[in-house]
Amino acid sequence: MNSDQTSSNDGQVDFKTAVRQEEWYLKRLYPTPADIPSCTNHLDTYFACNTMRNLVKSMYRYGTLREDCSEKWAEYKFCLSLKWMGMDERRDAWIRRKAIWWAKRRVGKSSEDVWQVRECVLFHFTFPHSPLSFFLPFSEPLPSFPKPVDPLQYLRDRPLEWMSCRED
């Protein structure tokens, strides 16, 4: 293993390597300066974050205004700070910022730190608090659910049945 591919004991790459990998990927994803989002796009994203719909959704789900649009505002301000640069320098600075953001997400904590990845399928499993758990022991397979009914095929099989429900 060379110095570019240093990793920790748990298999994750270190931060600098992650940034380099993300930069490599983003440079291929956004090959020209015209491919990076404009400041208008960032401002639109910020305004979309502050819409009444998102605020109501946040209140409904969490009971508070949990949606924080400060990151989107920071992206817009960063874009404005790049206006004095040339197009290629602007693209490189934007890619560097995004690479750092993605590297923090990769190296930082995630749900995989809490949950173990299951490598095999659990057979005959019911949830402890489901209605089926009172009727089925764990050794028996779950009942199969009926196939969904195609309404057109149902009416073709029973042509007069649907007409008998009509009031004349």
Residue 68, pLDDT score: 80
Beta bridge partners of 13: 7
Per-residue confidence of the chain (168 residues) as pLDDT tens digits?
Answer: 444 444 444 556 789 999 999 999 999 999 999 999 999 999 999 999 888 888 888 888 888 877 788 899 999 999 999 999 999 999 999 999 999 999 998 888 777 666 776 676 666 655 555 555 555 544 445 556 667 777 777 777 766 655 555 554
Residue 11, pLDDT score: 53
Map out the domains of the chain as residue ranges.
Answer: 11-110
Residue 124, pLDDT score: 61
Residue 3, pLDDT score: 46
Residue 61, pLDDT score: 84
Residue 4, pLDDT score: 46
Which of 131, 107, 142 minimizes the C-alpha distance to 10?
107
Residue 77, pLDDT score: 96
Does pTM top 0.75 for this prediction?
no
Contact 56, 145 (CB under 8 A): no
Residue 128, pLDDT score: 57
Residue 125, pLDDT score: 59
Which of 99, 95, 86 minimizes the C-alpha distance to 31?
95
Residue indicated by tokens 């009942």: 143
